[in-house]
Amino acid sequence: MTILISNKHVASGARLPAQLGDANTVLQTEMSEKSPHEMETAPSLSTPDLLRKAGLRPTRQRMTLGRLLFEGGDRHVTAEQLHAEVAGLGEHVSLATVYNTLHQFKRAGLLRELAIEGSKAYFDTNTSNHNHFLLEPHGELMDISGDAISVEGLPEPPEGTRITHVDVVVRLAKI
């Protein structure tokens, strides 16, 4: 089986490296139970309305975390980063609550979870079909538009399943 990852233009106008070797890695993504098309996160919705539309009750903790996640544009965060931001605001929300809430948001279709090398989970507020640059060793993720990379030759999924998404991360190092 051959999986071809072809490079197209990147949103910034830069081109991906011609050699695909270590520059590109397919990652696993845990998708929500709702597809991005089922759960559109319109920027005009307030955080309480966004949570209600997703079927979540706007509790104090969900409101605090939701405002940090959804009211400042698209972001990539870890649970630890978000926990530190909440603490910086003087709010008390346990790390376990942050993890639980991020997973609730993911199941509701508000976030995507990206597992980088299986050891670190990032949560992405942009649920559209897109891929990522990873600036090593800082672990900073940046979006690549959905049409910038084409993946062809995927195997047929096992009976009773469907492919929901394929993520590609392009690893970068500062020169």
Tell me which CATH code domain 37-126 carries.
1.10.10.10
Q: With contact defined as beta carbons under 8 Å apart, do 163 and 153 qualify?
A: no
CB atoms within 10 A of CB 43: 9
Rounded to 5°, the CA angle 124-169-64 comes to 15
Domain range annotation of the chain: 37-126, 128-154+163-175
Maximum alpha-carbon separation in the chain: 53
**pLDDT recorded at residue 149:** 84
At 4-34, the pLDDT tens digits run: 454 443 333 333 333 333 333 333 333 344 4
pTM check: above 0.85: no
The terminus-to-terminus CA distance of the chain in angstroms comes to 35
Name the DSSP class of 132. E
Q: Tell me which residue of 63, 68, 60, 33 sits closest to 50, measured CA to CA.
A: 63
At 42-63, the pLDDT tens digits run: 456 899 999 999 999 999 999 9
Q: In this model, does residue 36 exceed pLDDT 70? A: no
Mean pLDDT estimate for the chain: 78
**pLDDT recorded at residue 146:** 76
Q: How confident is the model at residue 165 (pLDDT cuts 50, 70, 90)?
A: confident
Instruction: Say which residue the tokens 């992405």 belong to.
Output: 124
